[in-house]
A and B are shown apart, each in its own frame.
Chain A
Amino acid sequence: MLDDFMMRATLAGLGVACAAAPLGSFVVWRRMAYFGDATAHAAVLGVALSLALQISVFAGAMAVALVMALTVTLLTGRGYAMDTLLGVLAHSALAFGLVAVSFLSGIRIDLMAYLFGDILAVSRTDLAVIWGGAALVVGLIGWRWSGLLTATLNEDLAHASGIDPKREKLILTLALAITVAVAIKVVGVLLIAAMLIIPAAAARPLSRTPEGMALTAAVLGAVSAVAGLRAAYVFDTPAGPSIVCVAALCFALTSLTSSVWRSG
């Protein structure tokens, strides 16, 4: 079964959709969309470093994404607005990453594969890494779900319930770094944020509870992955962007439906 590249690609897409759904919901609720974007951009530097040092791309991307996310978390509230800080760090990391890649003359690397993903080239090892990472993210968020949700709602409310909002934030940051590293192969660094945000946003009009929204986001993400890959196969379009396009259509559809519902 795993011999078929389409099958491996589909499984990889489903793995990323599973991890991205609950995490993406938190990204939407906490208004961290740009934070996710910045972390993903920084991962390019991680890719370059891991190629230079000849370590696993997954590990390198994750390490740099984590450092980036932690730096932003630490620096927030020290004189610069969050979006300024993210703009500075994300684009510098991307630029340094691109420059660093150019020094690696010995190895010919297809940078496009990391910017836009190369889901059709997913190997069995990649698949194991993706599903391992996804399971880790889902487990982490599931384990801390109530605490994360309370801290997202209101930090003082969390304190009063004996929850430390800083620790919860750290867990989200960690989950984000893992997801970025895992999703590079599938949709690439430029479109990771899309996989996080779009299914969650599309799920919002259909949901009454936070849990419902995360589950619906997972379903919509999975549908996008499967349908996007199919479309890429039929129309011979790039796979990662096709997946994001289907997710965007889902978003348009649910938003329209809900506005018709309300006015009708």
Chain B
Amino acid sequence: MSLISLRGLSVRYGAVTVLHDVTMEIAPGEIVTVVGPNGSGKTSLLRAIIGAVAPAKGRVVHKPGLRIGYVPQRLHIDPTLPMTVERFLRLPGGTPKGACAEALETAGVPDLARRQMSGLSGGQFQRVLLARALINRPDVILLDEATQGLDQPGSAAFYRRIEEVRRETGCAVLMISHELHVVMSASDRVICLNGHVCCEGTPEKVSSAPEYRALFGSGTGGALALYRHDHDHAHDGACDHGHGHDHGHGHDQTEAAE
């Protein structure tokens, strides 16, 4: 039986329909990636699955007793709220201390338990979020652009970790990502979303589908565009700690503007 199944799901915010007639299934142990342009309803899809937004039509069915680990797109912790990593992991409660250490280990950041959340770097923070999602031994992890703000090596390492976690724990993964090349290599299945499911299937199948090309460009032209896009990301991430690598002129201009 599938862990999560969406049947003809529509989501509306006021008069705006962001998702319509989405039908999909998540099977145990598979990595499914949702790609789609901005405003295509990717985040709304995850929010509908966790129950943060009620479907306007259709149904979201969970396997009975389904445990979900959720890594939100962005988590702002108010500076007035003191919070150690360990305390954060134990929310909403009932988690023994041993499980915290184990989850941090699995997420690849074993030594952070006593640190304040506000003192973590971007990469550490995302991994602590992952650790929290893992702590209750979930059947499925939902990741909403979990590598936002990480540089390219950082996000590549993060996704490798996800694959390892899947191998170790056997949980399914449903993730949203902008980093298409990582997505393509790591996923069992890709769903291309633009208000509805444009196309879905194996990464190879989707990347050659006309619907996908219409959204993300085609052939080498598309790949090149993606490459440039990724380079921009690496640049954003490197800003904070000096500039170790060579940037093109375009980037220098951006820097001057910053």
Contacts and interface: CB of A to CB of B under 8 A. Distances in A.
Q: Do A and B come from one complex?
A: yes
Most buried by A among B72, B76, B81, B84: B81
A210 interface: yes
B11 to A, nearest CB: 14
A156 B92 contact: no
B198 interface: no
B87 interface: yes
Interface in A142-171: 145-147, 149-150, 152-161, 163
A161 to B, nearest CB: 5
Interface string B66-79: 00111010011110
Nearest to A149: B91
Given A150-B92, A163-B92, A208-B116, A156 B70 contact: yes
A156 B81 contact: no
A83 B123 CA distance: 35
B81 A29 contact: yes
Contact of B83 (A158, A159, A160, A209): A209
Interface in A33-82: none
B52 A155 contact: yes
Interface in A192-251: 201, 204, 207-213
Given A209-B84, A210-B82, A153 B77 contact: yes
Given A146-B93, A155-B52, A156-B70, A29 B84 contact: no
Nearest to A207: B82
Nearest to B133: A160
Nearest to B68: A160
A207 B84 CA distance: 10
B62 to A, nearest CB: 11
Interface residues of B, number: 25
B221 interface: no
Contacts of B94: 146
B92 A29 contact: no
A108 interface: no
A159 B92 contact: no
Interface in B8-32: none
Contacts of B116: 208
Contacts of A29: 78, 80-81
A156 B91 contact: no
Given A147-B92, A149-B91, A156 B50 contact: yes
A152 B81 contact: yes
Contact of A159 (B50, B69, B91): B50
B233 interface: no
Which of A157, A204, A212 has most B Cβ within 10 Å? A157
A149 B50 contact: no
Given A146-B93, A147-B92, A209-B87, A157 B82 contact: no
Nearest to B90: A146
A145 to B, nearest CB: 8
Contacts of A262: none
A149 B117 CA distance: 15
Nearest to A211: B87
A28 interface: yes
Contacts of A147: 92
11 contacts: A29-B81, A146-B92, A156-B50, A156-B72, A158-B92, A159-B51, A160-B52, A163-B92, A204-B82, A209-B84, A213-B82
